[in-house]
Chain A
């Protein structure tokens, strides 16, 4: 069973966001990590590999710094990696990234594609599902359980207020929700071994995409920071008085009860 895991490098969720002089998100000095949801995807891929054999290939789009995240995935136990890096990707949107990933993934032997259900940076939650469509394979989003039998998967997907049980033919794309598994930490042996594993760096031309073929469908975003919320009233007094006052304020001042 060969598995592809798409991985994105994101800011640490602790990171404070500031804008640089050009109004872009300033990444200098920010601690970068594997997108937390992608760790669930990696773990699930490794569990499937342990059960069925085969290779796990990490695919990521991004510059040199992304190598760090890829090495972590390899240290967890993934076998090899592809990093797609090209100056033409500077303003790539979700559509473009999905088209590029589809071209790259279609060249790899692959029964299952796993991704995180959302990246904690742009939070757009689009690329994996778009990738499935670009590949013409089914997708199941936000999965909590994955069982494989032969060329089919039985999947539990989170929906609003409950779950769905879905049967799907492979190959297919699955996006991992928290709760799918507990991601392992890389072992010392894994970290040492990861240094010897192959990371292929491909340009758009290597993948078979012309720079003009990936002109973004969305314009370049304008960024802003939220105006900070100010703390309001701390209600003094003994508990019964404070509770009474709070209920009154919520009814009469805030008008939300």
Chain B
């Protein structure tokens, strides 16, 4: 009989990815309601100290899979090791963040297990007949699909910033178990030769609590500095609309929208962004939206919680100064 909810925990250099802790926080309540154990599964190498870092977020059990082949993420080694462990332990659900790793690992693992998967979910609930049901945006957030699985386990990737972090509870002492990684040679056909992480003091776009984004109204690449200055005062990430990316003003990795990143920050500040339907698809689930645009008819004002009609080159630096006063 399958049991338990598993969270695949992402880590790098002894740091746990925030979304992994969000999933533990959210799944705790579901596990309690269903009377199921909540298990944090940490693949990696040299990870003994990480059990203590996830413990306060609610896991009943922590499984460490320590192997040098799992030191950095590779599709094959992670799929191989997790597939065998899942077959052995039979959890009912396996959840991971909808990150670069989660998006790559979960479908591969689902196919290996012969099961279904719900991608990029923004809702998850206990379900009497199917254990869990998931809500996920489709058509770039223009509609939602509610899905549940016919097969066990069900896999799902959950969008970062969807669920709040629980208050850490230092008194929690989960059982810690070490499992060995059984990795097939056939799964080692890809080798990561190099990892280049852009050095940035700003948060990663998909996990940022605050994003300040610039569009066509930025008029040129040199003007992103005013957004960066503002971002650094409030700990925000900088984003862009497709118009700005296609104009070559800012790298594609900063693009928010249907053909860019989908983000769900607490606060999204759209500067000089008209609000094309494709852009709204990428940021419409933000909790609070601010629009700064000189065109009072801009579509972005139809969904912004707060708007200022005016020149962003005047307003953004003023806003930066106001934020400094609040700091």
Contacts and interface: CB of A to CB of B under 8 A. Distances in A.
B111 A95 contact: yes
A120 B139 contact: yes
Contact of B146 (A162, A221, A230): A221
A235 B136 CA distance: 33
A146 to B, nearest CB: 13
Interface string A114-125: 000000111111
A136 B186 contact: yes
Interface string B286-317: 01111000001000011111111111001100
Nearest to B109: A133
A244 B192 CA distance: 49
Interface stretch (A69-77, A164-172, A195-203): A164-172
Interface stretch (B33-41, B42-50, B97-105, B169-177): B97-105
Given A94-B117, A126-B107, A257-B267, A243 B277 contact: no
Contact of A218 (B147, B194, B325): B147
Given A95-B116, A161-B204, A239-B318, A120 B259 contact: yes
A132 B281 CA distance: 29
B17 to A, nearest CB: 9
A96 B110 CA distance: 12
Given A161-B200, A218-B147, A229 B100 contact: no
Interface in A232-257: 232-235, 239-240, 242-244, 246-251, 254, 256-257
Contact of B193 (A94, A159, A166): A166
A125 B144 CA distance: 16
A123 B114 contact: no
Contact of B114 (A142, A217, A222): A217
A138 B76 contact: yes
A162 B12 CA distance: 14
A11 B139 CA distance: 8
Interface string B91-131: 00000000111011011101110111111100000000010
Query: Which of A16, A229, A240, A248 counts the most chain B CB atoms within 10 A?
Result: A229
Interface residues of B, number: 92
Nearest to A137: B189
A178 interface: yes
A158 B252 CA distance: 11
Contact of A140 (B75, B278, B287, B310): B75
B253 interface: yes
Contacts of B290: 246, 250
A209 to B, nearest CB: 14
A218 B144 contact: no
Contacts of B197: 159, 161-162
B259 A133 contact: no
A130 B110 contact: yes
Contacts of A125: 103, 107, 119-120
A60 interface: no
Contact of A123 (B119, B315, B321): B119
B267 A122 contact: no
A223 B144 CA distance: 6
A189 B304 CA distance: 47
Interface stretch (B20-28, B56-64, B148-156, B217-225): B148-156
Contacts of B191: 166-168
A84 interface: no
Interface in B186-233: 186, 189-198, 200, 204, 206-207, 210
A90 interface: no
A88 to B, nearest CB: 16
Contact of A247 (B151, B284, B323): B323
B198 A162 contact: yes
A224 B137 CA distance: 10
B116 A218 contact: yes
Contacts of A225: 142-144
B234 interface: yes
Given A158-B253, A234-B309, A250-B306, A129 B315 contact: no
30 contacts: A14-B277, A95-B110, A120-B140, A125-B107, A126-B110, A130-B110, A133-B79, A138-B189, A142-B104, A159-B101, A159-B195, A160-B204, A160-B207, A165-B194, A167-B190, A168-B189, A169-B190, A172-B190, A218-B117, A218-B150, A223-B138, A223-B144, A226-B143, A231-B301, A232-B307, A233-B305, A239-B318, A243-B315, A243-B321, A247-B323
